[in-house]
Structure 1
Amino acid sequence: MYDIPGAFVLGFLIGLTGALAPGPTLIATINAALRGGWSAGPRVTLGHIVVEAGMVVLICAGLAAVIGTYTSLIAGVGGTALVVFGLLTVRESRSASIPEGSGHDAAAHPFIAGVMTSVSNPYFWIWWFSIGSALLIGALGGGWPVAAAFLFGHWTADLGWLTLVSASIHRGRFFLGQHGYRLTLAVCGIFLMTFGGYYLSTLLP
């Protein structure tokens, strides 16, 4: 059982280890920051948090054991979705131009990217229905304030890291030039396809 400060620190450290690890959500943040500016990080994080909040509800409802039996299906659907996202990004990179400003689309897409890269990442589901659920249930043993502190710490780590990444990328994007901008988008797409291919490979006997 944790106290509130301890739960926050634990949530922050666990969240930071996940945020720092290369993955689809980090790639989506880099991709979105190139298009829409520093606010991509907070917007991607918000989409990610919305999905995680739904995950918390499922865990509290006792569905972790049920969902856990469908890990192969999750890996197949999620891996395929990431490959498709990657292909679309590579195709777009061929004719992309550096945005002059951040319009409505640039503001909306990072949130959607945060949702989609979270939902389509099989490891996200597996982690929450194994390690994540155990940590959350342990925090719930101390009451809802302790569990809330754990989640707040977890999300603070996500927000801090992805905002730092997006601000850094946005500040440097105009030094890339048109060719560098397109090349970076293509690399993002390739990484998404790589993640998707890896998840699909786990289905092989």
Structure 2
Amino acid sequence: MTIPELALMGFIIGLTGALAPGPTLVATIHSALRIGWTGGPRVTVGHIIAEMGIVLLIVAGVTTVSDTYRPVIAGIGGVALVIFGGMTLLGARNATLLSGNCEGKNAGSVLAGLITSISNPYFWIWWFSVGSALLFSSFSQGIAGLLAFIGGHWSADLAWFTLVSVGIHRSKTVIDNRIYRGILLGCGLLLVIFGMWFLTQAL
């Protein structure tokens, strides 16, 4: 495949993953309500940091996740998401909509993107199975091919989560604090549900 084709493949595959409902999407919605449209890009930065680490592991030669360790990954991820969701639920009671951006909250959005990525066991399983095969395939074109695939993949994440956060930010004008708290409760509940689901897979 040519370099542009690898970039396009990375974008399409990345978009199919980004479009799927999951903890990182919930984190994007939560962040967009708190800090505005930059919430999506900030969450994406955290997600990219997680993927940079896993790409380095794959390039270093760690290409499989043994069936023995998959329940452990699912269990740890499940516990992390339940805790993260519980914190969101506790904070929802007195939460109020903020106008403008806050640097501290921005940092929290990056952390949310990182946590919801690494705590998702399917994130690890996909990268160590399908993802590793795609990376090695792109590496047939050298470093340029690898960078083209990863760049396309991350572009899809950034495009989708930014689009979501822009849409959420624009809707803030018709959202009062009561509705906002309800959305936060929904986000927290979804994170707990994701976490419980991962725990059932571990068991």
Q: Distance in 1 between matches of 2:53 and 2:87?
A: 27
Specify the code of the residue in structure 1 equivalent to 2:56: V
2:26 aligned with 1:27: yes
Secondary structure of residue in 1 paired with 2:71: helix
Specify the code of the residue in structure 2 equivalent to 1:149: A
Q: Distance in 2 between matches of 1:68 and 1:52?
A: 21
4+ residue stretches of structure 1 with deviation over 3 A? 66-69
Q: Which residue of 2 aligns with 1:75?
A: 74
CA spacing shift, 1:77–1:203, aligned 2, 3 Å: same
Q: Is the 8 A contact 1:85 1:192 kept in 2?
A: yes
Alignment of 1:177-188 (within 5 A): 177-188=176-187
Secondary structure of residue in 2 paired with 1:98: coil
Alpha carbon RMSD of aligned pairs, Å? Answer: 1.2
Secondary structure of residue in 2 paired with 1:55: helix
Give the alignment's TM-score, normalised by structure 2: 0.97
Q: CA deviation at 1:68?
A: 6.3
Specify the code of the residue in structure 2 equivalent to 1:33: A
Q: Which residue of 1 aligns with 2:116?
A: 117
Q: Distance in 2 between matches of 1:67 and 1:164?
A: 36
Alignment of 1:136-175 (within 5 A): 136-175=135-174
Give the alignment's TM-score, normalised by structure 1: 0.96
Give a deviation string over 1:63-118, Cα, whole Å, max 9, x none.
12266652111100000100111111111111101113312222211111111111
Secondary structure of residue in 2 paired with 1:160: helix
Q: Which residue of 2 aligns with 1:203?
A: 202
Q: Is the 8 A contact 2:35 2:99 kept in 1?
A: no
Q: Distance in 1 between matches of 2:108 and 2:67?
A: 30
Q: Distance in 2 between matches of 1:3 and 1:126?
A: 27
- For structure 1, the 5+ residue unaligned runs are none
Q: Which residue of 2 aligns with 1:52?
A: 51
Question: Percent identity among equivalent residues?
Answer: 52
Specify the code of the residue in structure 2 equivalent to 1:106: K
Give a deviation string over 1:5-56, Cα, whole Å, max 9, x none.
1101110000000000000000000000110110011111111111101111
Q: Which residue of 2 aligns with 1:65?
A: 64
Give a deviation string over 1:136-183, Cα, whole Å, max 9, x none.
011112211011100000000000000000111011123111110000
- Count residues in correspondence: 203
Q: Distance in 2 between matches of 1:136 and 1:98?
A: 41
Q: Distance in 2 between matches of 1:145 and 1:68?
A: 33
